[in-house]
Amino acid sequence: MLIPSIGKEAIKKFTKTIESYQKLEEELYLSKPDIILVVSPHGSMFADSFTVNVCPEFETDLREFGDLTTKLKFKGEMTLPSKLCHATRDEAGMPVKMVSEPKLDHGTAVPLFYLTNHLPNVTVAQLGFCEKDTKTHLEFGYLLKEQIMDTNKRVAIIASCDLSHALTSDSPAGYSPAGAEFDTKIQELLTTNNIAGMLSLDETMVADSAECGLRSILILMGVLKNMKVTYRSLSYESPFGVGYLTAYYSL
């Protein structure tokens, strides 16, 4: 819905989110990243394995939404994802599958559409979470951090996700009181950088909220673990009964 050719008139309902993306695009440009890693909830997914999409070239693909014209192309990052896959081979309980899918899903396409207008030389890699427990996702992020710290490149990470899909009776998942509870709680935990609180969220509440963001966020928190960071929340809105949070951490 945030892509103009898809959202059309409805895009006016996302004013706060679009303004936040514009602000975030400025911040990202000033940080001059060489690599952008996107954790997407909508790419290749396996129940028991994280995925690393390694491809020399990527192109956004929004055909399933009726958009045949929005096609952004990116150079794929090859070195860092390969190192991550190699590093996980010796980690018990940390299975990673390497895939090579040149078409980027909408969970990756939307943030890149707004955030890379002035980053023509940046390389892109796509990561996917799995159905393993929350602690394993945090540990995967920490392992990713080790590989990032071992490179001399500047790396930005996008934890792409929606929050609850159950905020109103018109929500995709219908209404559940757990929806607003989850969205409020996760924002509180992000503000205080409370990783332990994220790991101890009530599982029933999380499931009933119909979220698709917690595991993306936990991978990011694993990367940021033990680092001094500043959190800034830019906006939160839910025009279609789905929670959209735009926020960032800076070193």
DSSP 8-state secondary structure symbol assigned to residue 46? B
Alpha helices, DSSP H, located in 8-105: 15-31, 79-88
Kindly state the tokens that stand for 99.
């895939």
Report CA torsion sign: 250, 223, 214, 6: positive
Determine the Cα–Cα distance for residues 124 and 97; give it in Å rounded to an integer.
18
pLDDT at 8: 92
Residue 229 sits in a domain whose CATH number is: 3.40.830.10
Tens place of pLDDT per residue across the chain (251 aa): 899 999 999 999 999 999 999 999 999 999 999 999 999 998 888 889 999 999 999 999 899 999 988 899 999 999 999 999 888 876 767 889 999 999 999 999 999 999 999 999 999 999 999 999 999 999 999 999 999 999 999 999 999 999 999 999 999 999 999 999 999 999 999 999 999 999 999 999 999 999 998 999 999 999 999 999 999 999 999 999 999 999 999 98
pLDDT at 95: 87
Query: Could you give the number of structural domains in the chain?
Result: 1
pLDDT at 94: 83
Determine the Cα–Cα distance for residues 215 and 222; give it in Å rounded to an integer.
11
Dihedrals φ, ψ of 71, to 5°? -130, 105
Q: pTM of the entire structure? A: 0.95
- Cβ atoms within 10 Å, residue 198: 20
Dihedrals φ, ψ of 70, to 5°? -80, 100
pLDDT at 112: 97
Domain that holds residue 13: 4-250
Would you call 230 exposed, middle or buried from its count of C-beta atoms within 10 A (0-12, 13-18, 19+)? exposed
